Amino acid sequence: KAQQGAAQAFGTLYVAIVYTPSSVRHGNQINVGVTSAIPGSNIHVTTNRGGNYTVPVPSTGHVTVHIPGTYAGTLRITVTDAGWPLVVRNVPIT
């Protein structure tokens, strides 16, 4: 699934597309991809299960955050860029 969010840096509006899987099997890695993020900033991905991941955004503005697999249930993923909220999504883990 892809969802758009917006972040702003230095008076420029960046539209980011965030990709997360629609569902994942337990134990499998979860990839959160962000396209057109703010170059030079950091993408922060947090989960409701205590996960907290930070990845610097390269000049291309494309970044993928790898979240380790987790147990069955629902994983709530929150993605921010330079402190600006992009996406909050619930991903079912089967």
Phi first, then psi: give them for residue 22, nearest 5 degrees. Answer: -75, -25
Q: Which residues contact 40 (CB under 8 A, 6 or more apart)?
A: 56, 57, 59
Checking if the pLDDT of 56 tops 90, the result is yes
Does 25 or 3 have the greater pLDDT score?
25
On the question of pLDDT at 5 being above 70, the answer is: no
For residues 25 and 13, what is the distance between their CA atoms, to the nearest angstrom?
A: 36
% of the chain at pLDDT higher than 90: 49
Chain mean pLDDT for the chain:
86
**Distance from the Cα of residue 78 to its chain's centroid:** 6
Please tell me the pTM assigned to this model. 0.82
Output the pLDDT for position 9.
Answer: 54
Closest CA to 20 of 5, 10, 9, 34: 34
Q: Residue for token digits 């900033």? A: 41
